[in-house]
Chains A and B, each alone.
Chain A
Amino acid sequence: MSVVFFLTEEVPVLKKTAVCLSGIFILMSLLLATSGCSSPRAESSSPLPPQLRLRVATTTSLYDSGLWGYLEPMFERKYNVELDIMYAGSGKALEYGRRGDVDIVTIHDQIREEQFIADGYGVRRVPFAYNYFLIVGPSVDPAGIKGLTPEAAFKKLMETGKASFVSRGDDSGTHAKEKDIWAEAGYDYEAVRNAGRWYIEAGTGMGPTLMMASEKQAYTLTDIGTYLTYKGKLALVPVVDKGSLLLNVYSAIALNPEKMPQAKIDMANNLIEFLISPEIQEFIGNYGIEEYGTQLFTPYVGSEPE
């Protein structure tokens, strides 16, 4: 019975526990050291470690297309700063901004962007790239909407009520665009949501929404960048790609330091200057051409859409 040995054994047991605990601590510090070493950033950074972290909330389409993956290290090297990139739908990105949890947002929802600035949260809206939305769907085109305008296509979807449509349903910029199109087609959005089982609200990012639409052989509205990035994994083709409604402009907004004193306005302005600089504009324009055979984003500066 251990009780009997209690007095003789207590000390070694405590010792052993101490050894165990220090063992765990050593293991953890080792891990910290190795994870620090194996980080690609640690190797590439200059002798002076970057002190500043700049937080960016970006719309999922800019993140999922992989563009930020290239821009991030370029910017970090140039300004010796750590970019922390959070991907979120435009609605959530703006909410991060309103709460002061980020320093700059890069999104695509003009109406809410202007509201954000009017409410005093943002300094100014700086567009840096654009492309067009697409309605994609199964190649058999069950609703027969191929080649229509986006408004007419949505109208037909609503009237037939058979072919499924997957909506982002996450208050993102793409979702806002979808609501605009429903409004142009003459429908109240609440009525659309309750129109039947064919209208599916995914509540997720652009990539997962495309995957879901492909699985369900449904239509969906997508930005062209994400569609091209995911194309290889999808059984979906573009069915509607014409119409002024489909314009998609990406903008950067730095947080207003008057409202958010902790916002790093100088570095945020550096990022904006970086995005609209001729070399990065050219980089954005060329991004993905080699891989997808077509332009994902059109640089905004110098070739503004009409």
Chain B
Amino acid sequence: MSAPTLAGLTGAALVGLGLYGLLVHPHPLRKLLGFNLLGSGVFLLFGIIARKGAAAGFAADPVPQAMVITGIVVAFCATALSVALLLRLFEAGGAATLRPDVGRDDSD
């Protein structure tokens, strides 16, 4: 099996793993980890598309690569904003939970 196919299969497995963490874990920080795993799996799928698009003397198609670089930065922005929201939720309600009935009575 070639290196790009192996990386593509790894990416496919990572998407499944990340999705599972995102769906099942009750803790928001663990959901974020799942979200990042899922994203990085999708990026790897872009990686195999780039590698299979090797042409014109380039070892990999530069267009998907540039999209992944942009994607990594945007994924980081989303993660940072989510972490800030999560920490604020924790400060306001004293618990890091997404259950709507917890921390409601707090005055903040």
Is B truly associated with A? no
Interface residues, chain B, with chain A CB atoms under 8 Å away:
none
Interface residues, chain A, with chain B CB atoms under 8 Å away:
none
